Chain A
Amino acid sequence: MGNVIKKLVIGLVVGGALWGITKALEFPTVFQMLFFAYAILGAAVFILLDAPSLKPLNGVKALGALLVFYIVLCVVYIAGASLWPQYDPEDEKGKIDKILKPKRAATEQGKAEELLARAKALDEQAKALAARIKALGGDQAPGAQASGGAGAPPSTTGAAGGDILKIGEDQWQLQECYNCHKLRGEGGKKRGPELDNIGSYLTVDDIKQKILDPKSWMAEGFEKEYEKGKMPDKYKDLMEENDVIALASWLVTFKNPSVNTPKPIKKK
């Protein structure tokens, strides 16, 4: 027992020291707690190393001990996993809905087009039938709804509504560009260049080209062979053209010369 207390005290002292050092180094409290926990884990390991031998168990006692052991493991693993910060799926659901909406619509549109084609074929059959009835002398064939092309689709030219810059910003979030690029001091892990001054170097068309063909432009300092393929070559398939233009239009507004955005070099 004295051995256990001794190691526990050492663990507490080391943990306390780590707490104090990390506090002095301005680690957030949660990290101070984590380092303290590491020290306690270390103490537990060393207590276990010198623990007295366990007497052999048989029969029902062994079975009971096993069951209890399994229950403890299940509880510890579930509780351990639940203690970590949990991602909220609701954050993602909205994004996924927005990203997949055009693709889903495309799928439904495909079905709708098929239905329209079938309706058109039926219509032609009906017209042919009406013509045959008329040829046989019947004058009661229904008149074609030919009163002046009423079926023309409404114009979509005025439907461009909405703020294109807002759509561009939305796309920045939806495509999670912030994972690699820093902008307005947020996001980025140095995987890609900081973009606060990108508008000073590139036009909307240039940025669009870069998004659709990532190797068309390379930023200075990102030219190593293993960095060339870092930007995924997938946005041409994932994004609608209008969304790419909106994103490029939004990015081109960033012209902050105080941020050292590396100069892009045209490669294609």
Chain B
Amino acid sequence: MNTWQRGLLALCAILALFGGAAYAQTPGAPPVEFPYTGNRTAVWIVAQLHILFAAFILGAPIFVVISEWLGYRKHDPRYDRLAKEVMKVTVILYSMTALTGGLFIFVLLATYPQFTTWLINHFFLVFAVVYPLLFIGETILLYLYFYSWDAWKGEKKARHIALGVLLNLIGTITLFVIDGPTSFMNTPVKAEGVSPAEFLATATLWDKIYNYSWMPMNLHRLVGNVTFGGFITGLVAAYMYMAAKKEDERAYYDWMGFVGNLIGVGALLFLPFMGYLLAYELCDYDASICPYMMADQLSMFFEMQGAMVGLLFLASNYYIWLSMKRIEGVERVRMTIFAPLVMVALPFVMTYGWTIFPVPDPRSLAILVPLALLPVVLGRLIPLTVSSRTIIKVGFLMVVIGDAIWLTPHGFVPTGAKLVAELELPSDWNFLALMPAKNSAAFTLVFVTVVNYIIYNRAIGQGTIVWGKIDFVSQFVLVFLAFTSIWTMGLMGAVRSLLRKYFHTYNLLPDFTAESFTPTLSYSAWWITAITVAFYVVVSFAIFVTLRPTEAKGHAPEGSPAPAGAK
């Protein structure tokens, strides 16, 4: 996309932003009524689209700069090329982030003018000064980083990497700043014995930003953005692999897909725990949020989340399996027998242990840590080994079992109020539906994936990897991972917003409109799918316009990532 096209997009974003603001200033303007979708869903669509674009443009530069640095350190031009190609897509999607951001404010002001004005008043300094300045700063740095890529190579590469680090620093601060109002809507400041409205009147801006769920949300989004960026990189690689006509191109995009998946999965391993931390803080803020999430109106959303996370882990491990198949000499790789034994024991021992010592209790770690380290310690003392193929297959079995534990509900009812014996777990087996079992399931998925990557790493060390010869179905796995991660993100985004129940800002500002109820999972799934498809269309277009012409013209030689002195 040319500079003038990007400028046009940015202009549209500014028009939408100021048009919305101007519209809201019209005295007595009644809220707009969106046909078909209704106001709430209209805001949902635009907000979710904006978050998806924003997540990518904040997440991708984190590993872009790491990739650039790896290229510089290892003298491997593939890393530099990966970084630059992902950055090209990021630049296009940056314009879309601005456009959807402007549209979001426009729709929000048009549909909920009173609430929007109220929120802006409470965070005036953030919305009017800090956020715009950060956004402008990030825009300048992003374009500077992208356009100085070829100019700052060789001796100047370190300078370019430093610029990338600065870009990420500003991006992370921007995320943290905008998470202030977002998390405030879920967990506004409060103090014991004082009504929220009274306390709010005396609260400082920092009090409002530094609310209960602010830091957990920052961490969750930061890790989630990297996961998301990694899987989108995998998507880019899959598209390009499918379109590649030369062997070297296929080899490169095979490698890129592997790296994207590695980044995505690497960050994904932390995501269940970050999500747990966020949920824990939300429940700590108001215990009634917990049953609303897990046992009542949103309980089936969490069943769906369990299914999606299970699919993500299955697919990412399947990708490792496919990757292993193209490594020559993989059959020689073996591992201690205690690895599969711990895999099998993990969900059962942890469920039992964490039932006795629930998670806030430090003794819960006294069970988990020795168990997880058992293969390392005993493996050195007792030299019994099994083939990597066997371990991976046991791992798949445990992923299925872990997902089964995660998925098993307390009852097949949408709310606890409708629970009857014919749809409820027998009381002796109720532990399957409780948090210790769910946590052990999540940990099993993570443990299996880590073991698989260790095996993969050994396989690379002992065998020869043949890039470009991976089973073609792996490209569909990469597409699947990207689609499923976006869908899951949409689902959990909906959950977080719905946790405010019938409030715009929880317990503070009620939503008096007729739409302030919990929608069905089915209805939500339709819209989440529609949003995911819309995002996919734009991303696919961005990949097409940025990377296809490069291929058609023949790829320009990569800028040498090595310092001149090293040559």
Which A residues are within 8 Å of any B CB, using their own CB? 25-31, 34-35, 38, 41-42, 45-46, 48-49, 51, 53-58, 62, 65-66, 69-70, 73-74, 77-78, 80-82, 84-89, 91-93, 96, 99-100, 103-104, 107, 176, 178-180, 187, 189, 191, 213, 215, 226, 229-234, 236-238
Q: List 7 A-B contacts (CB under 8 A).
A: A30-B412, A49-B396, A55-B472, A89-B518, A178-B416, A230-B287, A232-B286
Stretch of B143-151, B173-181, B296-304 contacting A (4+ beta carbons < 8 Å): B296-304
Assess the A48–B424 pair: CB atoms within 8 A: no
Interchain pairs with CB closer than 8 A, number: 189
Distance of A152 from chain B, by nearest CB (Å): 32
B372 located at the interface, meaning its Cβ lies under 8 Å from any Cβ of chain A in the complex: no
Point out the residues of chain A lying under 8 angstroms from B193, CB to CB.
Answer: 213, 233
B131 beta carbon closer than 8 Å to chain A: no
Bound complex: CA A223 to CA B480 (Å): 48
Chain B binding surface SS class: helix
CB pair A42–B397 under 8 Å, yes or no, is: yes
The complex places the Cα of A115 from the Cα of B102 at a distance, in Å, of 37
Residues of A within 8 A of B135 (CB): none
The answer on a CB contact under 8 Å between B518 and A92 is yes
On whether the beta carbons of A77 and B518 are closer than 8 Å, the reply is no
In the assembled complex, the Cα of A42 lies from the Cα of B396 at a distance in Å of: 8
**Chain B interface residue count: which class?**
35 or more
Residue of A nearest to B522 (CB): A82
- Does B522 contact A81, Cβ atoms closer than 8 Å? yes
Min CB–CB distance A49 → chain B (angstroms): 6
- Asked if A180 meets B529 with Cβ closer than 8 Å, knowing A57-B472, A70-B536, the reply is no
Q: Is B215 interfacial (CB-CB < 8 Å)?
A: no
Which residues in chain B, 190-214, are within 8 Å of chain A measured between CB atoms?
190, 192-193, 195-197
A28-B421, A77-B525, A92-B517 known; A179 vs B396 contact (CB < 8 Å): no
Q: Which of B288, B424, B528 contacts A176, CB < 8 Å?
A: B288
Given contacts A226-B360, A237-B197, contact A85 B413 (CB under 8 A): yes
Q: Mark B510-527, 1 if CB is under 8 A from A, else 0.
A: 101010111111101110
* Contact among A26, A45, A73, A81 for B314, CB-based, below 8 A: A45
Known A62-B242, A84-B521; contact A27-B425, beta-carbon cutoff 8 A: yes
- Does B476 touch A at the CB level, under 8 Å? yes
Q: Kindly supply a per-residue 1/0 record for chain B positions 487-516, scoring 1 wherever the CB is within 8 Å of any chain A CB and 0 otherwise.
A: 100000000000000100001001010101
User: Quick one: which of B288, B412, B510, B514 contacts A85, CB cutoff 8 A?
Assistant: B412
A180 touching B519 in the complex, CB below 8 Å, given contacts A45-B400, A74-B529, A80-B304: no
